[in-house]
Amino acid sequence: MTSDTTVTQTITLSTREDETWWRQAAVYQIYPRSFADFDGDGIGDLKGITARVPYLAELGIDAVWLSPFYPSALADGGYDVADYRDVDPRIGTLADFDELVTALHAANIRVVVDIVPNHSSDQHAWFQAALAAGRGSAERGRYIFRDGRGEGGELPPSDWVSMFGGPAWTRVADGQWYLHTFATEQPDFNWDAREVRDDFLATLRFWADRGVDGFRVDVAHLLVKDLPAELPSQAEIDAMDAASGSHPLLDRDDVHEVYAEWRALFDSYDPPRTAVAEAHVSNPERRARYASATGLGQAFNFDLMGADFDAAQFRAIVTDNLAQADLTGSSSTWVFSNHDATRHATRYGLPPARGTGKKAGTAWMLAGAPREELDIEGGLRRARAATMFLLGLPGSAYLYQGEELGLHEVGVIPRDRRQDPAYLRCADTREWSFDGLGRDGCRVPLPWRSEGPSFGFGPRGAHLPQPAWFAQYSVEAEDADPASTLNLYRRALDLRHRLQSAERLEWVETSAPEVLHYRRPNGWEIVTNFGAAAVALPAGRIVLATEPVTDLLPGETTVWLAP
Ligand code: GLC
């Protein structure tokens, strides 16, 4: 361990109970099924994560966010939850969960879990009870059931299209229909029902009592709906103002009544539990409501995911978001990759129109491309430069497993091995927003070793096929290479603890428009050359560089300067 690491750990220990730990945390997202497989069934598990806590500690992150690990039929990779207060037997047990939390806390890593409140799995006991109890029952009242149109009710209540393509209504045996914003297996809850609200409060308490430090709230903007007797058409819905606060389906003002109750619960803990909203809303003012201190406290900002590798776009996004954070009192969040998006090394290796989307709102969800279209080295070079730009910013950084290895998206997965409903429901029609290869390519199990079954992911195979090129990106290979992306992340995450200070930055004007230079209040400086040509190197003590530097700052390179 370097002396830098020692300094960091002392600081972290002394602020263990600090209520503001989340404000500038580096949060590492683990997609449990694809992280590490302890028992050899091809699916990652909690024991696998526990066994890798030393890896996470050495990486230097402040918290992990666990994507769903609850019992699930896996119709949507676990975002179809059958029981909110248990662990999927393929992933482990509650005792394994407690063991994992203990191990992470002992390593000074906080734990954030994913909460999926808009919909359950159709396997959830409540949905099964709703099917059994029949129309008009209290059990059906927990979900959104409607009679169909047409003489015999044989037509769906409206022509709405699900987020994954295909109809948003499915008919049940007695002829009624239920609403599912996502896959058929994900019935939407009725958040007007007090019972639903109380049950989620019980779920949050359940995990908070087990020592969870915070929650990531799935599609936080969708919970509360106001459906009139006469439903508008999809075209009418699309034409409505999504920022009005009274849209029938999304981002309604009254959804914040739910989060006010959640906040009261979070604040009853010491330290208060934190939350971050995944809210796809139409403008910064609407997003700020989720980030408010009387609500969830923080909201994802996906703006950089939709940006090209471009200085002007990056600067405008950073400036806007820091101004917003000032207004809400929350801290800004920064994200390049997650389990829903094409990995950023790949996005930056594709021609701009393919790599970053132009479709408002869903731009960052554009899927991967065949490998031959990809500038593999260039994509990774730009991703390293962009990530080191991001890690210097004030606010919290959300990192996605595998990006620390510089992994590219896996573009080639046979159709019969694909799992993503967004792909399977849309692949033939290419309708709606998921018009590419879906999200499986960023969910392929991690390569820990350069050879062996499933590259060390587990003792046997992996639930999604890993390509041969994973060998060179394995933890084993990169650990041994001082210039690897893994060692770059380790160094940056270590230095970041000293770089972070007051949540501000000052832009330093540069002579070249493609170069961005900012200074933090404690004197640390970050300089990124977004252009292809080398430029003059700024004066100062370089402590980190994404490419070898001489007396010039090469193209597509970031350097950190310490005071
Ligand atoms: C969120 C999740 C995504 C999931 C969807 C439905 O967007 O991030 O993975 O498919 O919600 O739960």
Confidence of residue 142 (pLDDT cuts 50, 70, 90): very high
Q: CA quadruple 475, 481, 486, 491: dihedral positive or negative?
A: positive
**What is the model's pLDDT at position 264?**
98
Say if residues 65 and 114 touch (Cβ distance below 8 Å): yes
pLDDT digits (tens, 9 = 90+) for 475-532: 999 999 999 999 999 999 999 999 999 999 999 999 899 999 999 999 999 999 999 9
Q: From the candidates 96, 278, 525, 556, which is the catalytic residue? A: 278
- DSSP structure string for 225-256: ----SSPPPHHHHHHS-TTSS--SSSS-TTHH
Average pLDDT of the segment spanning 97-105:
98
| Residue bearing the CA closest to ligand 1, atom 4 | 79
**What is the model's pLDDT at position 352?**
64
The mean predicted confidence, pLDDT, of the chain is 91
Q: Which ligand 1 atom sits closest to the C-alpha of 339?
A: 9
**What is the model's pLDDT at position 452?**
94
Compute and round to an integer the Cα radius of gyration of the chain: 23
**What is the model's pLDDT at position 213?**
97
**What is the model's pLDDT at position 363?**
32
Q: Does any ligand 1 atom lie closer than 6 A to the CB of residue 399? A: no
How close is the Cα of 311 to the center of ligand 1, in Å?
Answer: 30
Q: Which residues pair with 380 in a beta bridge?
A: none
Q: Does any ligand 1 atom lie closer than 6 A to the CB of residue 116? A: yes
Pocket test for ligand 1, best of 84, 164, 218 (most atoms within 8 A of CB): 218
Token digits for 160? 């709405």
**What is the model's pLDDT at position 372?**
55
| Residue bearing the CA closest to ligand 1, atom 3 | 340
Per-residue DSSP letter, 377: H
Q: Which residues pair with 189 in a beta bridge?
A: 143
**What is the model's pLDDT at position 373?**
66
Distance separating alpha carbons of residues 39 and 42, to the nearest angstrom: 8
How close is the Cα of 165 to the center of ligand 1, in Å?
Answer: 14
Q: Quick one: CA torsion of 392, 398, 401, 405, rounded to 10 degrees?
A: -10
Average pLDDT of the segment spanning 2-8:
34
How close is the Cα of 357 to the center of ligand 1, in Å?
Answer: 19
| Residue bearing the CA closest to ligand 1, atom 6 | 79
**What is the model's pLDDT at position 306?**
85
Spatial CA neighbour of 392 closest among 325, 318, 339: 318
**What is the model's pLDDT at position 61?**
98
Alpha carbons within 13 angstroms on the beta-carbon side of residue 139 total 12
Pocket test for ligand 1, best of 80, 278, 340, 425 (most atoms within 8 A of CB): 340
Q: Give the position of tokens 């990056």.
A: 314
Confidence of residue 433 (pLDDT cuts 50, 70, 90): very low
CA 496 to chain CA mean position, Å: 21
Say if residues 369 and 353 touch (Cβ distance below 8 Å): no
Cα distance between the two ends of the chain: 23
Q: Which ligand 1 atom sits closest to the C-alpha of 182?
A: 6
How close is the Cα of 87 to the center of ligand 1, in Å?
Answer: 19
How close is the Cα of 99 to the center of ligand 1, in Å?
Answer: 27
Distance separating alpha carbons of residues 282 and 285, to the nearest angstrom: 9
Confidence of residue 4 (pLDDT cuts 50, 70, 90): very low
The percentage of the chain sitting over the pLDDT mark of 90, rounded to a whole number, equals 82
pTM above 0.85, yes or no: yes
Token digits for 180? 């599912």
Q: CA quadruple 368, 373, 377, 379: dihedral positive or negative?
A: negative
Token digits for 53? 């806590």
Active site residue 218: yes
Check pLDDT > 60 for residue 359.
Answer: no
**What is the model's pLDDT at position 431?**
38
- Report the 3 state secondary structure along 37-59: CCCCCCCCCHHHHHHCHHHHHHH
Beta-strand ranges (E) seen in 165-256 are 169-171, 177-179, 214-217
The percentage of the chain sitting over the pLDDT mark of 70, rounded to a whole number, equals 91
Looking at residue 247, its amino acid is H
pLDDT digits (tens, 9 = 90+) for 412-427: 888 889 899 888 877 5
Per-residue DSSP letter, 189: B
Check pLDDT > 50 for residue 294.
Answer: yes
pLDDT digits (tens, 9 = 90+) for 160-213: 999 988 899 999 999 999 999 999 999 999 999 999 999 999 999 999 999 999
Distance separating alpha carbons of residues 285 and 292, to the nearest angstrom: 11
